[in-house]
């Protein structure tokens, strides 16, 4: 019997391994990750520097191919895909928010947010981008360029860009890492509000214990393996 799509996990990883470099320089960075993430779950990924958090995110988002193992992401079999197929599969499935915002400096806020929709050939990209910027509290900043925005405002644009195409999966890598504490708190609120509104599954890499506490589940990596996995009661 096949599982109906709504009951399928957002992510299912089995014995996922990642080796980078070759021959004597080869380093096994992920050493057998087993992880199932429910659709709609919020999950914090913790672990010491070098434990493999960013590498795991790269594999789960299809930016990097696993060396071996099985990986299903939003119903797509990432482990079997070549780079071109992965790039296509990522689109529409995954939104990413990074510590350093990574907005395109020559585009306005609205252009930055409309671009993923335009690339996907969707209608009303311009209006949808404006509505999403409104939703993150930047309706009055549509025509501003990244350099004219504060760090917190730039991160709001990045959240709007990540979520505008309604991907089922949202990843954030240290989303408050470049912000002061109070701006960081307001960004976290925006991120969780938009996640709730859209129902996306959210995976956040963080060193911030209070941010981790906001998630349904906390997974800790150590040396390329899952060291602990705790769900809220
Ligand atoms: N291209 C590469 N070649 C070889 N080793 C690499 C490469 N990229 C990363 N590594 C190593 O893989 C390990 C895991 O790195 P990763 O960036 O995933 O850790 P992290 O937990 O995200 O760390 P941080 O919290 O510092 O960002 C580290 O030991 C790192 O040096």
What whole-number distance in Å separates Cα of residue 169 and Cα of residue 177? 21
In this predicted model, what pLDDT tens digit does every residue of 154-189 receive, in sequence order?
Answer: 999 999 999 999 999 999 999 998 889 999 999 999
Asked if residue 148 is part of any domain, the answer here is yes
Does ipTM come in above 0.85? yes
Strand pairing class (11-20; 94-98): unpaired
Query: Is the model's pLDDT at 3 over the cut of 70?
Result: no
CA–centroid distance, residue 50 to ligand 1 (Å) = 5
Asked if residue 150 is part of any domain, the answer here is yes
pTM of the model: 0.92
- Is residue 212 within 8 A of residue 37, CB to CB? The reply is no
Mean pLDDT value across residues 26-47:
96
Closest-CA residue, ligand 1 atom 6, reads 20
CATH number at residue 49: 3.40.50.300
Q: Give the total residue count for the chain.
A: 233
Asked if residue 28 is part of any domain, the answer here is no
In this predicted model, what pLDDT tens digit does every residue of 57-114 receive, in sequence order?
Answer: 999 999 999 999 999 999 999 998 998 999 889 988 999 999 888 999 999 999 999 9
Asked if residue 27 is part of any domain, the answer here is no
Strand partners, 97: 172
Asked if residue 4 is part of any domain, the answer here is no
Closest-CA residue, ligand 1 atom 24, reads 49
In this predicted model, what pLDDT tens digit does every residue of 184-233 receive, in sequence order?
Answer: 999 999 999 999 999 999 999 999 888 999 999 999 999 999 999 999 87
Asked if residue 19 is part of any domain, the answer here is no
| Residue 99: how many other CB atoms lie within 10 Å | 16
In this predicted model, what pLDDT tens digit does every residue of 107-146 receive, in sequence order?
Answer: 999 999 999 899 888 889 999 999 999 999 999 999 999 9
**How far apart are the two ends of the chain, measured CA to CA in Å?**
31
Quote the pLDDT of residue 7: 66
Quote the pLDDT of residue 72: 96
Note the Cα 93 to chain centre separation in Å: 10
Choose the residue to mutate in 27, 63, 64, 65 for probing ligand 1, maximizing ligand atoms within 8 Å of C-beta. 27
Per cent of the chain over pLDDT 90 is 80
Task: Write the CB contacts of 11 (distance below 8 Å, at least 6 apart in sequence).
Answer: 35, 36, 37, 60, 71, 72, 73, 74, 169, 201, 203
CA–centroid distance, residue 150 to ligand 1 (Å) = 29
pLDDT-derived band at 55 (thresholds 50, 70, 90) equals: very high
**Residue ranges making up the domain that contains 182:** 39-67+78-231
Asked if residue 209 is part of any domain, the answer here is yes
Asked if residue 24 is part of any domain, the answer here is no
Kindly state the tokens that stand for 205.
């890499």
Strand pairing class (42-46; 217-222): parallel
Q: Provide the number of structural domains found in the chain.
A: 1
Identify the residues whose C-beta falls under 6 Å from ligand 1: 20-21, 27, 29, 47, 49-55
CA–centroid distance, residue 223 to ligand 1 (Å) = 10
Quote the pLDDT of residue 40: 95
Closest-CA residue, ligand 1 atom 25, reads 49
């Amino acid at each position: 019997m096949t599982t109906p799509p709504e009951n399928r996990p957002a992510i299912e990883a089995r014995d996922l391994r990642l080796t980078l470099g070759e021959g004597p320089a080869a380093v096994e960075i992920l050493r057998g990750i087993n992880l199932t993430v429910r659709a709609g779950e919020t999950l914090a990924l913790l672990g010491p520097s070098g434990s493999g958090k960013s590498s795991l995110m790269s594999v789960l988002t299809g930016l990097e191919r696993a060396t071996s193992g099985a990986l299903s992401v939003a119903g797509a079999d990432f482990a079997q895909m070549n780079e071109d197929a992965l790039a296509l599969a990522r689109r529409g499935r995954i939104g990413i928010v990074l510590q350093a915002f990574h907005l395109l400096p020559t585009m306005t806020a609205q252009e930055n947010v409309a671009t993923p929709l335009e690339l996907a050939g969707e209608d009303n990209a311009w209006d949808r981008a404006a509505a999403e910027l409104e939703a993150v509290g930047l309706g009055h900043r549509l025509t501003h360029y990244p350099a004219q925005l504060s760090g917190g405002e730039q991160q709001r644009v990045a959240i709007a860009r990540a979520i505008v195409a309604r991907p089922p999966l949202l990843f954030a890598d240290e989303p408050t890492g470049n912000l002061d504490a109070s701006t960081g708190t307001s960004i976290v609120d925006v991120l969780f509000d938009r996640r709730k509104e859209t129902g996306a599954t959210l995976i956040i890499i963080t060193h911030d214990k209070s941010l981790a506490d906001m998630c349904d589940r906390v997974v800790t990596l150590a040396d390329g393996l899952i060291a602990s996995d705790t769900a809220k009661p």
